[in-house]
Chains A and B, each alone.
Chain A
Amino acid sequence: MISFDVKLDRNGFSLDVAGEFSDGITAIFGPSGAGKSSLLSCLAGSIRPTSGYVDLDEHTLYSSEQKIWVPTEKRRIGTVYQDGALFPHLNVRRNIEFGWKLLDPADRRLVPLDIAEFLGLGHLLDRKPNELSGGERQRVAIARALATSPQLLLLDEPLASLDAARRGSILNYLKRVHAEFGIPMVYVSHSISEVVSIASKAMLLRDGKVEGFDRPSALLLRAAAAGGDIDSFENILDGVIGESTDQLTTVKIGEVEISTRHQNKNPGETVVVSLGANQIILAADRPTNISARNIFGGRVSEVWSKQGKVFAEVDAGEKFIVELTENALNELGISVGSDVFLVFKSSSVEVFDA
């Protein structure tokens, strides 16, 4: 658990943020310039705050009052940067082992090669960073941070320099890393879609101040007001390939089986599915004689509306976020608890390798 209250005045920018993050995955999000990366640097110890404190698992890392400052190299915090920040002169193996070698042998809880295997890097160990794809680079960066057995993993926009297909994959790896190693994570992003997909709690920052700290989906509209990019909100979900016909492939997402365009994949393969919130139609009654291949019954679990913009969260065995207009909401009489049907085309679903 990390708890902090940091104030930072730097080059005309001021940050004043307090919070307490539990052992799950917590997101910090908000528009660029909100202070996300500065806050992360204060936690990691690469920037010294003007005043305040940072506590990690009963250890005080920084306290202006007690005059405590643990330098960044003594903190057991791993950081993954936007473009990986891999050491270009070292191969993958030596990048991953860099921090591990500096650990006291008693603290070496994880074996670098096991981590490399877990992240699918086993065949890349002798490569240099400039011979890797963007997704591979990020996985090396994650492995490098993990190898130091950190008490906390900070992720600074780890998907920002990747294309859509790689994003889902890295997101999926991060979830598996969290499940496997149980290391608390702080995930910084300006994308609410990523945040909703990965985090259990999210802190919304704006102009260096906390705007909200809540379930990520509940922050959707506030994120919009804060200038976050939510026009293109994507439901990012983990799935498994099912049966295929000539034209369609089924993907199982938890209890739900959705139809997608034909995928050249084998049954049982894990994938990441992306479905735009504005691609889903809500119906009050089960539509018949309709070309859309996906129709699921569900119950509205939450509705957020602001200035004509409405997002509804529908639980259809798996939670989907749907964007609709205030007009439609009122006409259909949808509110929390309403039974509705989700309708979307198989071609609206994008399927990526996990």
Chain B
Amino acid sequence: MNSDISIVGLSLQIALVATGVTLPLGMLIAWLLVRKQFRGKFALDVIVSLPLALPPVVVGYALLWVVGTNGWIGQLSESLFGTTLAFTWIAAALAAAIVSLPLVVRSFSAALAGVDPRLETAARGLGAGPVRTFFTITLPLAYRGVIAGVLLGFVRALSEFGATIVVAGNIPGRTQTVPSAIFTRISAGDTDAAWRLALVSVVLGVAALAIHNWLLKRSANGIESSKGSKR
């Protein structure tokens, strides 16, 4: 039981850190893809979307190669901290971030594309710089899609298995997440314990989706009620 709680805790920690990476990064990439014309736009789109088309194991293997002793991130962290990131919870968070990034970017892109660019032009004309325009106009108007994207990315990070197990392993207490623990328990024939964690996965997924729907409903109600009271 105790180990279940620490497994869930580590999974949540990894998923939260992954979301913390994909939120700003996904927003920047989505904004570039939707609003900007530049050389290499197609390449960026393909690179970001690639994890969606590849088996997660391949993504994990590629990541292992980058963070391992021979990769540039690996060498950097080795010279800084004396160790590589491979088989740490940070590597698991990186894997979860990379795998969920395409979903996040897709949601954010749809949300940003739904904002009339002329409103941004109008805000700029009224004296707001590009950053202020983004935070006062674009983001509040893309609110629903952004929340949807964040939660979708979070849920995906939480259920990540294939890339994680390659790059972070399945070390109890250090990198063992809910999916990898379920895998271990199934392999060991410990079905009761496996079902227990599977149930936890279902609860976490339903909770995230419920929060998602609740937030969307609340923002929809906000618009409805202000309309109803004035008319």
Interface residues in chain A, defined as those with a beta carbon under 8 Å from any beta carbon in chain B: 44-46, 71-75, 77-79, 81, 85, 87-89, 98-99, 102-103, 126-128, 130-131, 144-145, 148
Contact = CB atoms under 8 A, between A and B. Distances in A.
B227 interface: yes
B124 A99 contact: no
Contact of B123 (A77, A98, A131): A98
Given A46-B121, A85-B116, A127 B126 contact: no
Interface string B195-231: 0000000000000000000000000000100110011
B141 A88 contact: yes
Contacts of A44: 125
Contact of A131 (B125, B141, B227): B227
3 closest Cβ pairs, A-B complex: A99-B126, A102-B127, A85-B122
B78 to A, nearest CB: 44
A102 B227 contact: no
14 contacts: A45-B125, A72-B125, A73-B124, A73-B126, A73-B129, A79-B122, A79-B125, A81-B122, A85-B118, A87-B119, A87-B122, A88-B141, A128-B227, A144-B126
Contacts of B118: 81, 85
A81 B121 CA distance: 10
B231 to A, nearest CB: 7
Q: Looking at chain B, what size class is its interface with the partner chain? A: 20 to 34
Interface in B117-138: 118-119, 121-129, 132, 136-137
Nearest to B226: A128
A79 B231 CA distance: 29
Contact of A72 (B116, B119, B124, B226): B124
Nearest to B132: A102
A322 B146 CA distance: 58
Given A85-B116, A87-B137, A88-B141, A130 B227 contact: yes
Contacts of A87: 119, 122-123, 137, 141
Contacts of B127: 73-74, 99, 102-103, 148
Contacts of B9: none
B128 A131 contact: no
A10 to B, nearest CB: 12
A73 B128 contact: yes
Given A98-B123, A102-B127, 5 more contacts: A75-B125, A78-B125, A126-B230, A128-B227, A130-B223
Contacts of A74: 127
A85 to B, nearest CB: 4
B141 A89 contact: yes
